[in-house]
Structure 1
Amino acid sequence: MARLGGRNAVFAWFVGIMCAAVVVALAVVALPMFPAASGWFTAAYTEVQRFVDPDAVPVAQPEPSASPLDEGGSLDECRDLYDDAMWASLTWTTGSEMTASAEAPVTSAAALVQALQPEVAMTCVWTSDEGSVSTTVAAVPTDAGAIAAAALPTVGFACDVHDDRMLCTRTDGQLLETIEAGSGLWVSTSQDAWHPSAYASRVAASVWDGRED
């Protein structure tokens, strides 16, 4: 066969090699997308099967997630104790940090805690350059308020009925302790040197108002 005019064999080989190189380069670039593409095609195929025969492909059920309190307190749970103004005041205090757990209440009334065995839902501990504040929310027997009123005055607390629940307070220098119990709930707070405005009463209101809702 006669060679067509104007065609250069060397040039043709060069172009062929360049084209092959481009194809290889594109394959290398696209390689990371293969798993994603494969997953997409698999998902699409599964959806088609499910549409044609809903019983052919079982729907995967998500694993149930554990409650944050199953492993101790939760920052989200602690956040619910504070109105926006108090939360801002606490978080903006110099050196402020908060940790959440399900630790036992921080209080000098250790004998009462031992007697009532409160089931702790959360303990929220704040520390800052000003001092520390620890609050515990727990479930207790419905007669815990009466037991507290009988036991706590002997260890320096003053107790009185407040909004149908028992409120006991104790002050020792810069330490201010409050224990409030009623309707099967316990809220205790220990404020050491750091005394945010109306802290205990605002937290207690959040707890009992939330229960009423």
Structure 2
Amino acid sequence: MARVPGRDNRIAIPVMVLCLGVVGALVWFAIPGMPMVLAWAGGTAGNAATMLAATPTPRAVVADGLDVAATDCRELYPDDLWNELTWTSDAILNQSTGASATAATDLVAALAPTAARTCAWTDSAGQSVVTTFATVADDAAGIAEAALRGQGFACTTTDGTLSCTADTAAGDEHQAVHGALWVTTVAGSWYPEDYDDRIAVHLWQ
């Protein structure tokens, strides 16, 4: 073996032996604590899994028997959409228990809502987006689809939610029926991105 200049085996070998001895001693002293370390790691992982499993799933508002007439508009909107609307310059919210502003007046008579909460957003430029949450019969989706298609609405059903849209005399209309809740939105030159989808996810998923 070639000799490295400046290396003295008389010093290097004892130092290497000493280092190995120190490492061996550390391992020896660490062995009794290994079961505790493994138990702690296992417990931490188990707690994390338990916490993830306990994370609540989004609540289905309709299934909870939502009383729309007694519910504030704030509870009917997801946080991100509510913030977007309230931070819009000059936006004003007017709440009422009035009927939907839909041009499909025959549908209102057919569904005969027993309670309603209307959230009307307007700004100084005259733009508006008005949404009415109404309580109807559990089988209202079938009646609504037949009536809306007959008035030129385009309809689809996804995950149990009937969604219909059309341009009407009232404005850009978006209708949704899921179970006993009927949501009507009439947009007048103001329709936030994915407005209906975000409300639907908040209410039913």
Confirm or deny a common fold (TM above 0.5).
yes
Q: How many Å apart are 1:172 and its aligned residue?
A: 4.8
2:198 to 194, 199, 202: 202
1:127 paired to 2:97: no
Query: Displacement of 1:85 after TM fit?
Result: 2.1
- 1:136 maps to which residue? 132
Q: TM-score, normalised by structure 1?
A: 0.59
Q: Distance in 2 between matches of 1:202 and 1:100?
A: 20
Provide the aligned length of Structure 1 versus Structure 2: 138
Deviations for 1:85-107, whole angstroms, at most 9, x for unmatched residues?
22221112121000111100110
Letter in 1 for 2:95: A
Residue number in structure 2 paired with 1:118: 113
Q: Which residue of 1 aligns with 2:155?
A: 159
Greater RCO (Cα-Cα under 8 Å, separation 6 or more): 2
Percent sequence identity over aligned pairs = 40
What is the match of residue 184 of structure 1? Answer: 180
Structure 2: gaps spanning 5 or more residues: 1-66
1:165 offset after TM fit, Å? 2.0
Q: Which runs of 5+ in 1 are unaligned?
A: 1-68
**1:87 corresponds to which letter in structure 2?**
W
Structure 1 residues 104 and 173, CA, compared in 2 at 3 Å: closer, same or farther? Answer: closer
Coordinate RMSD, CA, aligned: 2.2
- List per-residue Cα deviations over 1:29-61 (Å, max 9, x = no partner): xxxxxxxxxxxxxxxxxxxxxxxxxxxxxxxxx
Q: Does the 8 Å contact 1:149/1:166 carry over to 2?
A: yes
Does the CA contact (< 8 Å) of 2:103 and 2:170 recur in 1? Answer: no
Provide TM-score, normalisation by structure 2. 0.61
Give the deviation of 1:181 after TM superposition. 0.9
What secondary structure does 2:81 align onto?
A: helix
Report if the CA contact (8 A) 2:170-2:186 is conserved: no
Shift in CA distance, 168/199, structure 1 to aligned 2, threshold 3 Å: same
Quote how far apart the aligned CAs of 1:207 are.
2.0
2:103 counterpart letter in structure 1: S
- Per-residue deviation, residues 97-132 of structure 1 (Å, max 9, x unmatched): 001111001101110001111123311000013610
